Amino acid sequence: MNIYAVLTIYRSEMKRFFRTIMQSLISPVISTSLYFIVFGAAIGSRIDEVEGVSYGAFIVPGLIMLSVMTQATSNASFGIYFPKFTGTIYELLSAPVNFLEIVLGYVGAAATKAMFIGVIILITAFFFVDLSIAHPIAMIAFLVLTCLSFSLLGFIIGIWAGNFEQLQLIPLLVITPLVFLGGSFYSVSMLPGVWQTIAMFNPVVYLISGFRWAFFGVADVDIAISLVAIAFFTGACLAAIWWIFRTGWRIRQ
């Protein structure tokens, strides 16, 4: 493996991130603070606890997942789309770099950015609620896997997109609604029976449930099922990327 090629792509993407570091930091802090004010204070004053956890603390994993999923997808999609837009993708494809090294560079950078934002939101949450993490290693593992899997999804979106409008289409119209409907701000067990069944078809439910279990030891879905779900999603994204580079779909066409 050409580690220098991977590091070159990775450093290039990270430099773009650090050029707007203040914007990248201030935006999630303000957004998280507003969520705590609106949901934690306004709604939380009417909901004492959910599954034995104070409502303000209960929404923290959902808030982190909301930002991490959208940031990972957006960063990865823009990272690979921009070389397509400028035409420099052909220089990259003609260089002695294989598809795995390209994916590692772009996806690794996008996952790092998303994880950085997730940590910032977690730190911000400590200023608003009394928060404890029951399984810190599992929390880190779920955070890393989520950043990685949604960065892979973003990479696919960036290759698929034909313009900047399409680049934002799936994150705004698909991922964000799925996160909101996936138990970010409530427990799936609070829904009526038929809606609980429908919610189980939402893949984001399994990610948020597993991540919340790492914090509080409670989950809507068995932790093993959550792990299988995220492993399946990651494997499906890897298979799709392999097929894209093998066929040249939307890259050489």
**Cross-strand bridge partners of residue 53:** 50
Asked whether residue 252 carries a pLDDT value surpassing 70, the answer given is no
Cα–Cα distance for residue pair 184/171, rounded to 1 Å: 16
- pLDDT at res. 217: 94
pTM score, whole prediction: 0.92
Give the count of alpha carbons within 13 A of 89, CB side only. Answer: 21
Domain ranges of the chain: 3-247
Cα–Cα distance for residue pair 232/192, rounded to 1 Å: 28
Environment class of residue 137 by beta-carbon count within 10 Å: exposed (0-12), middle (13-18) or buried (19+)?
A: exposed
- pLDDT at res. 41: 67
Smallest CA-to-CA distance from 58 within 229, 224, 208, 230 is with 208
- pLDDT at res. 152: 96
Give the confidence band of 212 by pLDDT, cuts at 50, 70, 90.
Answer: very high
Averaged confidence pLDDT in the chain: 88
**Cross-strand bridge partners of residue 49:** 54
Q: Are strands 53-54 and 49-50 parallel, antiparallel or unpaired?
A: antiparallel
Asked whether residue 168 carries a pLDDT value surpassing 80, the answer given is yes
- pLDDT at res. 150: 96
* Across 212-229, average pLDDT: 92
Q: Which residue has the tokens 């290039």?
A: 12
* Across 140-161, average pLDDT: 94
Q: Is the dihedral of CA 60, 65, 66, 71 positive or negative?
A: positive
Cα–Cα distance for residue pair 154/234, rounded to 1 Å: 12
Render pLDDT for 10-37 as a digit per residue (tens, 0 to 9): 999 998 888 877 777 787 778 777 887 7
Smallest CA-to-CA distance from 102 within 239, 8, 176 is with 8
- pLDDT at res. 10: 95
> What's the alpha-carbon Rg for the chain, to the nearest Å?
19
Residues 6+ apart with CB under 8 A from 122: 60, 64
109-118, 162-171, 223-232: least confident range: 162-171
Render pLDDT for 64-116 as a digit per residue (tens, 0 to 9): 999 899 889 999 999 999 988 888 888 888 888 888 999 999 999 999 999 99
Give the count of alpha carbons within 13 A of 234, CB side only. Answer: 16
